[in-house]
Each structure stands twice: as C-alpha cells, then as structure tokens.
Amino acid sequence: MLDAALLSIDGLSVAYDGSSALNGVSLQIRKGELICVVGANGAGKTSLIRSISGIVRSSSGTVKMNGVNITGLPPWEICERGIAQVAEGRQSFGSLSVEENLLLGGSLKRAKAYQFETLEFVYQLFERLRERRRQLAGTLSGGEQQMLAIGRAIMSKPEMVMFDEPSIGLSPALTDVMFGVVKSLHEQGITVLLVEQNVAKSLALSNRGYVLENGSIVLHGSSQELLNNSEIQRAYLGM
C-alpha cells in the first residue's frame, strides 16, 4: 500500500565551479515506492543523490522529508531523519573489520537500540559478511564491499535507502544479486531511490522512473510506460 509523499524535491539546482549539474529538478517519492532515476554517465544522477543527502549544497530548490524542509541540513542529521545512502565506490573504512563498519552504521540515535537485531538481519541477508565479520574491510572483494556498503546503510534503520550505481564494477552475476537485494529491501517496506545506468534492469524492478539528461528531468512515468517509450528504447535499450 502506497502512502503519502516521503520525499519531495522541488526545483533543485546544483552547480560546481559555475558549471550546472542539476537544473530545477522536481520529483516525489511516496512511502513504499521503489523509484529509479536513470540516465547516461554525467547526467547528474550522483549530484542528485549527494544533494539529497546533504553532501553537496544546492544553489536553489528544496528537499522535504515527511513534509519537513531538510535543505541545507548536515549529512549526519539527514541520516537521523531516516535517509541512508549507498554511495558509488562503497567507501568502507578499510582499516576496520566488517563488523566494526556495520556497527558504525548502527550508531545513530534512531538505530542504536536495534543495533544487534539489525546486525543479525544484515548477516541473514549477506551470509558472506557473517563469514568475513572479523576481516578488515579493505581486504574484501568489490562485490563484498558493495554488500558491506548496503549492510551499513541498513544498520541505520532508514525509512528510505538511496542506491548510487550499485551495479558499477560488478560482474553480471553479482549485479543480479545486488538488484535482488534492492528488491528484497523494498518488499520489506523500505522506500528505495535507485540511481543507475542500467536502464532495463532498473525500470523492470521499479514502480516509477525518471529520466535525467544534462541535469534535467526529460521524461517520467510508470516504469512500464518508460520501457515501452520509443525514445527510451532507442537511446538506452538498443532497440
């Protein structure tokens, strides 16, 4: 059952050194949805995620979570509001063990009381992490580090998880595993914003989609509508 808007973005613009990365982007994500934002490399997808999470400051526009304006809040406070990010490049703490990385993710006020319960959930989701729990994160394979990044986000007990290119650098088999994890989290009631270059897989998995080109939303609609759109088929699906 879909609920009211969890995240509302209105007229969001971001620029780096005078060069525009986002141009007045507006979108909404309702509670319980799995939304994808797709587009080519350099379209502005990562800038969108980083501005929502507070890592990058917007030059104009607003971001609201549950109707409350969170624009300009520091990243840690946005995490406390229930938004977790699985960043491109994984960004684990290489000198800490797998379990220490996960427990760091569960150290937020909103999550601390559930820390060990959530840790067991993560280990059930990723048995490989349980096997590697004492291993230094920096020694993990690329796929294992992606599992760790997702697990650390889950540890924060988020209302919404944002995935930034979760399949990048992974084999086709591991890519399928990662998309399966995204689907599993969504089925358990977590709202998901999936940012991906893999247009076909993203649209097949999601409820609705937005197409981002040169920092602007050029198309949006149900995922099935976008999959059937001749422009999408020609530009992204090779049809």
Q: Is the pLDDT of residue 10 over 80?
A: yes
β 208-213/34-38 pair status: parallel
| pLDDT for 89 | 63
Contact residues for 171 (Cβ-Cβ < 8 A; gap 6+): 143
Which range has the worst mean pLDDT, 103-107, 119-123, 164-168?
164-168
Q: What percent of the chain has pLDDT over 90?
A: 72
End-to-end CA distance of the chain: 34
Q: Is 117 exposed, middle or buried (0-12, 13-18, 19+ CB in 10 A)?
A: exposed
Rounded to two decimals, the pTM is 0.91
Higher local confidence (pLDDT), 87 or 150: 150
Q: Using pLDDT thresholds of 50, 70 and 90, give the confidence band for residue 17.
A: confident
pLDDT for position 1: 41
For residue 115, CA distances in Å to 102, 109, 184 come to 9, 10, 20
User: What's residue 63's pLDDT?
Assistant: 97
Q: What confidence tens digit (pLDDT) does each residue in 20-71 have?
A: 999 999 999 999 999 999 988 888 999 999 999 999 999 999 999 999 999 9
Alpha helices in the chain (DSSP H): 45-52, 75-80, 98-105, 115-125, 127-131, 142-154, 172-187, 199-205, 223-227, 230-236
| pLDDT score of 169 | 80
State the average pLDDT for the chain.
91
> What confidence score (pLDDT) does residue 142 get?
84
User: Which two tokens mark 86?
Assistant: 């699985």
Distances (CA, A) of 155 to 8, 47, 148: 24, 24, 10
CATH architecture of 1-9+24-82+159-166+195-238: 3-Layer(aba) Sandwich (3.40)
Q: Where are the domains of the chain?
A: 1-9+24-82+159-166+195-238
Question: Average pLDDT in the 211-227 region?
Answer: 94
pLDDT of residue 138: 92
Q: What is the mean pLDDT of residues 89-98?
A: 84
The pLDDT tens digits of the residues spanning 146-202 come to 899 999 999 999 999 999 988 888 888 888 888 998 999 999 889 999 998 888 899
